[in-house]
Amino acid sequence: MKRTNLRALFDPESIAIIGASPDDQKIGGRPLSYLQKYRYEGKIYPINPKYKEINDLKCFPDIKSVPEEIDLAIIAVPKSIVLETFKKCADRKVRSVVIFSAGFAEVDEEGKRLQEEISLIAEQNNVSVLGPNCLGMFNVKKSVYGTFSTIIEDEKPLLSNIGFVSQSGAFGSHVFTLARQHKIGFSYFVATGNECDVDVADCIQFLAEDPGTDVIACYIEGTKDGDKLIEALKLARKNKKPVIALKVGKTDVGMKAALSHTGSLVGSDDVFDTVFKQNGVYRAETIEEFLDVTYAASKLPFPKGNRTAVFTVSGGVGIMLADQLSANGLTLPETPEPVKEKLRDILPIAAVQNPIDTTAQISYMPTLLEDFMESVLSSGEYDSAVVFLGFAGLKLDSLNDRIETLVKMKDRFKDIPQIAVTINSETSRQIFSDAGLYVSDDPSRAVTVSKALLYFAGQQEEENEEVYLPNKDIFGLSTVLTEYGSKKILKQYGIPITEEKLARTAEEAVQYANEIGYPIVLKGMSPQILHKTEKGLVILNVKDNEEVREKFGILKTIIQQTNGAEFEGVLIQEMLKNDSVEMVVGSKKDPIFGQIVLVGLGGIYIEVLKDVSMRKAPVSVREAEKMIHELRASPILHSYRGKQPYDVEELSKLISQFSHFIVSQEEKLLEVDLNPVMVFTKGQGIKVADGLMTLEKQVIHS
Among positions 42, 212, 254, 336, the unique one binding a copy of itself when judged by CB under 8 A? 254
- CA–CA distance, 658 with 656 (Å, rounded to integer): 5
CB of 578 to a copy of itself, least distance (A): 19
Nearer to a copy of itself, 177 or 459 (CB): 177
Query: Interface residues for a copy of itself in 78-107 (CB under 8 A)?
Result: 107
Give how many residues touch a copy of itself by CB under 8 A. Answer: 76
**Of 489, 463, 477, 416, whose CA–CA distance to 623 is shortest?**
463
Q: Does 285 bind a copy of itself (CB under 8 A)?
A: yes
Among 83, 158, 257, 435, binds a copy of itself (CB under 8 A): 257
| Listed residue (193, 195, 200, 239) closest to 219, CA to CA | 200
Site for a copy of itself in 213-242 (CB under 8 A): 219, 221
Q: DSSP label at 452?
A: H
Q: Per rule CB under 8 A, is residue 288 in the interface with a copy of itself? A: yes
The C-alpha atoms of residue 429 and residue 184 are separated, in whole angstroms, by 10
Contact 562, 526 (CB under 8 A): yes
CB of 196 to a copy of itself, least distance (A): 18
Please, which of residues 138-167 interact with a copy of itself by CB under 8 A?
151, 166-167
Cβ proximity to a copy of itself: between 214 and 357 the closer is: 357
Residues 585-604 close enough to bind a copy of itself by CB under 8 A: 604
Q: In terms of CB distance, is 398 or 479 closer to a copy of itself?
A: 398
Nearer to a copy of itself among residue 444 and residue 511 (C-beta): 444
63/89 Cα distance (integer angstroms): 7
Chosen residue from 313, 386, 548, 648 binding a copy of itself by CB under 8 A: 313
For residue 115, the surrounding DSSP H or E stretch is: helix 109-125
| 640-669 positions binding a copy of itself, by CB under 8 A | 640-642
DSSP string, 301-315: PPPSSSBEEEEES-H
Q: Is 533 exposed, middle or buried (0-12, 13-18, 19+ CB in 10 A)?
A: exposed
Tell me how far, at minimum, the Cβ of 320 lies from a copy of itself, in Å: 5
Between 44 and 248, CB nearer to a copy of itself: 248
Residue placing its CB nearer to a copy of itself in the complex, 254 or 527: 254
The residues facing 129 across adjacent strands are: 97
Does 621 participate in binding a copy of itself (rule CB under 8 A)?
Answer: no
Site for a copy of itself in 534-593 (CB under 8 A): 534
Q: Which is nearer to a copy of itself, 120 or 360 (CB)?
A: 360
Among positions 437-496, residues that touch a copy of itself (CB under 8 A) are 442-445
Closest to a copy of itself by CB, 251 vs 557, is 251
From 113-121, 313-321, 545-553, 690-698, give the range in contact with a copy of itself by CB under 8 A. 313-321
C-alpha to C-alpha distances, 364 to 89, 305, 400, 402, nearest whole angstrom:
68, 34, 13, 12
* Per-position x/- string for 198-217, each x denoting binding to a copy of itself as judged by CB under 8 A, each - no binding: --------------------
- The stretch among 169-177, 377-385, 513-521, 541-549 that binds a copy of itself (CB under 8 A) is 169-177
Give the DSSP per-residue string, 230-298. HHHHHHHHHTT--EEEEE---SHHHHHHHHHHH-S----HHHHHHHHHHTTPEEPSSHHHHHHHHHHHH
Strands (E), 59-205: 72-75, 96-99, 128-130, 136-139, 144-147, 159-166, 186-191
Can you tell me which of 211, 364, 563, 608 binds a copy of itself, judged by CB under 8 A?
Answer: 608
Choosing from 391, 491, 494, 553, the residue that interacts with a copy of itself (CB under 8 A) is 391
Distances (CA, A) of 445 to 373, 449, 611: 21, 6, 29
Binding to a copy of itself (CB under 8 A): which residues in 331-370? Answer: 331-332, 349, 351, 353, 355, 357, 359-360
Question: How many angstroms separate the CA atoms of 628 and 648, rounded?
Answer: 8
Among 36, 326, 511, 562, binds a copy of itself (CB under 8 A): 326
Distance of alpha carbon 557 from alpha carbon 640, whole angstroms = 44
Choose between 3 and 638: whose C-beta lies nearer to a copy of itself. 638
What is each CA distance from 189 to 13, 141, 151, 607, 698, in whole angstroms? 18, 11, 11, 43, 45
Shortest reach from residue 657's CB to a copy of itself, in Å = 28
C-alpha radius of gyration, the chain, whole number:
32
Q: Which of 52, 91, 265, 327 binds a copy of itself (CB under 8 A)?
A: 327
CA distance 118 to 592: 23
Residue 425 as a binder of a copy of itself (CB under 8 A): the answer is: yes
Rule CB under 8 A: say whether 256 interacts with a copy of itself.
yes
The answer to whether 632 contacts a copy of itself (rule: CB under 8 A) is: yes
Is 41 or 426 the residue whose CB approaches a copy of itself more closely? 426
User: Is residue 174 near a copy of itself by the rule CB under 8 A?
Assistant: yes
Which stretches of 433-489 are assigned E, i.e. beta strand?
Answer: 439-440, 480-481
Q: 83, 159, 407, 423: which one contacts a copy of itself (CB under 8 A)?
A: 423
Q: Give the C-alpha separation, 93 to 311, whole Å.
A: 60
**Minimum distance from residue 136 beta carbon to a copy of itself (Å):** 14
- Give whichever of 257 and 506 is closer to a copy of itself, judged by the CB atom: 257
For the CB of residue 246, give the shortest distance to a copy of itself in the complex, in Å. 8
Burial bucket for residue 47 (CB in 10 Å: 0-12, 13-18, 19+): buried
- Report if residue 184 touches a copy of itself, rule: CB under 8 A: no
Among 177, 239, 459, 514, binds a copy of itself (CB under 8 A): 177
Is 168 a binding residue for a copy of itself by CB under 8 A? The answer is yes
Burial call 104-135: b when 16+ CB within 10 Å, e when fewer: bbbeeeebbebbeebbebbeebebbbbbbbbb
Residue type, 595: Q
Picking from 442, 351, 348, 439, the residue whose alpha carbon sits closest to that of residue 402 is: 439
